[in-house]
Structure 1
Amino acid sequence: MQLETKKLFMEPITETDWALFKALHTVPAVIEKCFDAPPDDELKAKFRARLQAWTPDSGAWLTLVIKEKASGEKVGITGFFVDQGIAEMGYLLMPEFYGQGYGTESLRVVIDWAEEELGLALFRAVVTEGNIASERVLEKCGFRLQEKIPEAYEIGGQLYADHIYQRVSTG
């Protein structure tokens, strides 16, 4: 499986993507508005889980590595898991690629693929309060804020609200 846009291509994560996966879960600029860095053993288990064969019914994440076409550099990861017919979306980008529209571009093609190939029509994403850049990406991709859950998530000892976004396909 490979997805492609004007500037990016995405393909399933492999063993060779460990350094990227680890960076995306430990670099302060990436995780500061998402989560605390997990312990090494937990991070390795999470990575192994992402390497599993994926099907819409597996309950596992479809994790795609985003690469820049021009340079071949790894930009980040994107993907989703399906729970009761709802695609729970997620994405993380390396800071050097912020502000280039890659989050929006990659998310749009993943959603288009999920709609066309899997017939999915309902998409959901949870964003931590204050992660304005991620909220903008979701809004550009047709998501709308559905709910705010106060003090739902702790990062660095501080409680934040979860912002629940949803997108319903019209086709």
Structure 2
Amino acid sequence: MTLTTARLTLRLLNADDWPLFYTLHNDAQVIEKCFDKPSEAQLRAKFNERLKPWQPNSNSPLCLVIVETSTGKEVGVTGFTSSTVPDSQEVGYLLLPNFHGRGYATESLQAVLDYAKSEHAVREFKAVVTEGNIGSEKVLEKCGFQLVDKQLDAYAIGGVLYTDHHFHLSCTDHRA
């Protein structure tokens, strides 16, 4: 499976992508508003879970590597996983810092949303962003998500409690 946009190619994660996955989950700039640095065992388990073949309505996440088409450079990862609501997916993305600010997160997320809607009739999407992660919030808003809830002191990063911002996108709300 491959998705393409004007500037990006999105392909399934494979075993050779461990260095990228490791870097994304250990770079302080990437994870500072997302999560604490995982142990290598936790990260290996997460990586192996994302290597499993994805099927619609499965509990396995769809994880795609974002590649800059013109250079072949790996940018980050994006994808989704089943949420607790039927026909709903929770989206996520992590990009290497040297690719921040280029619109790649928005471009790749929109491609994933379009794919999920057109090929798998996904009706709604969710995302959770830690308060202060303004870049991720802007990406979601550009893709049509709306902030629907704030949960105070919901998530700890580095021993500090943060408010979680919950975003929602219904296919009837946005380019269905």
Distance 2:49 2:89 in 1: 17
% identical aligned pairs: 50
- Unpaired runs of 5+ residues, structure 2, are none
**Partner secondary structure for residue 167 of structure 2:** strand
Shift, 1:56, TM fit: 1.6
Which deviations, in whole Å up to 9, do the C-alpha atoms of 1:116-147 show, x marking residues without a partner?
A: 00001100000000000000000000000000
Give the aligned partner of residue 74 of structure 1. 74
- Aligned pairs for 1:23-38 (under 5 A) are 23-38=23-38
Task: Give the alignment's TM-score, normalised by structure 1.
Answer: 0.99
Distance 2:98 2:64 in 1: 19
Give the aligned partner of residue 147 of structure 1. 149
Which deviations, in whole Å up to 9, do the C-alpha atoms of 1:5-62 show, x marking residues without a partner?
A: 0000001000000000001100000000000010111100110110001112220110
- Tell me, yes or no, if structure 1 residue 164 matches structure 2 residue 166: yes
* Pairwise CA RMSD: 0.6
Give the aligned partner of residue 2 of structure 2. 2
The 4+ residue runs of structure 1 with deviation greater than 2 A are none
Distance 1:152 1:20 in 2: 29
Give the aligned partner of residue 107 of structure 2. 105
Aligned residue pairs, count: 171
Distance 1:85 1:127 in 2: 21
Give the aligned partner of residue 17 of structure 1. 17
User: What one-letter code is carried by the residue in structure 2 that aligns with 1:18?
Assistant: W
Distance 1:100 1:16 in 2: 25
**Partner secondary structure for residue 25 of structure 1:** helix
User: What one-letter code is carried by the residue in structure 2 that aligns with 1:131?
Assistant: N
